[in-house]
Amino acid sequence: MIHADRLWDPISLAQMTQAREDALRQQGLRPGEVVLCPDAPALDLVLMVLTLARMGAALCPYRAALDQAERAALADATGAEWFWCPASGMLTDSGRRTATPWPLDSPLSLLVKTSGSSGLPKVAMLTHANLQSAARAGNARLGLSPGDRWLCCLRLSHIGGLAIVSRCDLAGATLVLHAGFDAAAVARDLATHRITHVSLVPPMLDRLLAIGATPPPSLRVLLVGGQALSRVLLTRALAAGWPIHTTYGMTETAAQIATATHALARPVADGWVGPPLEGVQIRSDADQAQLRVRGPMVMAGYANPARRPGQGLRDGWLLTADRGRLDATGNLLVQGRADEILVIGGVNVSLRRIESVLWTAPGVEDLALVALPDPVWGHRLVVVYRGSLETTALARWCEAVLKGAERPRGFKRVSSLPLLDSGKHDRVRIRGLARSLDPDERLSLD
């Protein structure tokens, strides 16, 4: 593992993990218990991931800036027995004890909050078997093996970053760890450390392209997921030579469940992902086309204080919030969230389709489409965007390319769109920006 320009060989890392395990046992940690840990320092959290897995205990990571009340609420929701303090190297008893023994054969390993981009985060309970199945299938799809190097610049309180730790550990590959995303640092270390794999969400990819970064010869995989990758951004990345692999997954499935088999040679349709990973079953609800997923990497259930498995599942199937289907060749097409089909003035409109059209507007560099309630028309669409195009010019452009019900009626130009810690758009804060429109930024629905 490489962190802060220092290399830890497998022997040194094993010694560090053993020392951490000895210390945790002496402080009273037992198999089956859950430890809440901050995601910084990043190296410390990686050591906790590896150590707790050896002990048969579970990790619940959280953003380091979380205040005491929020940490207590997380402990209440998960029944976590311990808090970990990296600075002191000490555990603190939370005062909570789960009386119900864990009923599944595979021990609980991770309890991870969903990203909360909709404002309603939950905590997924992932077992050792979930993580191993996900890592094995992901490594097979992406060709990760000993000698490879994966640069991790995603936060370790989210499944995207944690999954990289599991993949590298299983494959015997080297983990190159960054404490967060910095485009210039990522561009530098891709070449310096001869990186073969890297994971980004679309806003990170956009920033990398904005500084003119180019892929080093060693790079075989740039895995892009976390949110929809627009055809415009994909085209820019392919033109710059980046080996893009599209992927789709979620916290509840220990990250990816479908991924492109090869680096894309040309732009694909919006929502095209690739075939499901080995062992993954995907179905679509007949009415809403909501994706249902089943497989060995699907969570044990959503967390609850008693840590009873099964919540959020039906016969092992997870009903996602996304619409999609498998095409005739077995590739997954994701068609947006199930709540993105709205009725405006009696007309069904697809927010996903409108966003894909808006991405083609000249001078628009990043955007999010928000639907606000309207007492007469049902909903009012607002575009929050970054780019050189003035709001009046974008409004005129929309009039030419979108039908009446599809046209946004508000335009909010910003210097940058707010992001979550995961790097994805912060939909809650963006919605607040849309609500703050000045009267001259609104258009009539008549």
Radius of gyration of the chain (CA): 22
Q: What is the pLDDT of residue 119?
A: 47
Distance in angstroms between the alpha carbons of the first and the last residue of the chain: 60
Q: Around 379, how many Cα atoms within 13 Å sit in the side-chain half-sphere?
A: 24
Q: What is the pLDDT of residue 446?
A: 46
Question: What does pTM read for this prediction?
Answer: 0.84
Q: Which residue has the tokens 């010869």?
A: 217
Q: Are 27 and 35 in contact (CB under 8 A)?
A: no
Q: Are 407 and 440 in contact (CB under 8 A)?
A: no
CATH placement of domain 2-335: 3.40.50.12780
**pLDDT tens track, the chain, 446 positions:** 776 556 677 788 889 999 999 999 999 999 999 999 999 999 999 999 999 999 999 999 999 988 999 999 999 999 999 999 999 999 999 999 887 889 999 999 999 998 654 445 699 999 999 999 999 999 999 999 999 999 999 999 999 999 999 999 999 999 999 988 999 999 999 999 999 999 999 889 989 999 999 999 999 999 999 888 888 899 999 999 999 999 999 999 999 999 999 999 999 988 899 999 999 999 986 555 789 999 999 999 999 999 999 999 999 999 998 889 999 999 999 987 777 778 887 777 888 889 989 999 999 999 999 999 887 788 899 999 999 999 999 999 999 999 888 999 999 999 999 988 778 889 899 999 999 886 555 555 44
Q: What is the pLDDT of residue 39?
A: 94
**Alpha-carbon gap, residue 300 to 251, rounded angstroms:** 12
Where do the domains of the chain lie?
Answer: 2-335, 345-441
* Structure tokens given for 199: 């994971």
CA distances from 261 to 133, 148, 189, 201 (A): 18, 18, 25, 18
345-441, which class in CATH?
A: alpha beta
* Structure tokens given for 338: 């199930």
Q: What is the pLDDT of residue 134?
A: 98
Q: Are 225 and 249 in contact (CB under 8 A)?
A: yes
Q: What is the pLDDT of residue 438?
A: 66
Q: What is the pLDDT of residue 118?
A: 46
- State how far Cα 340 lies from the chain centre: 19
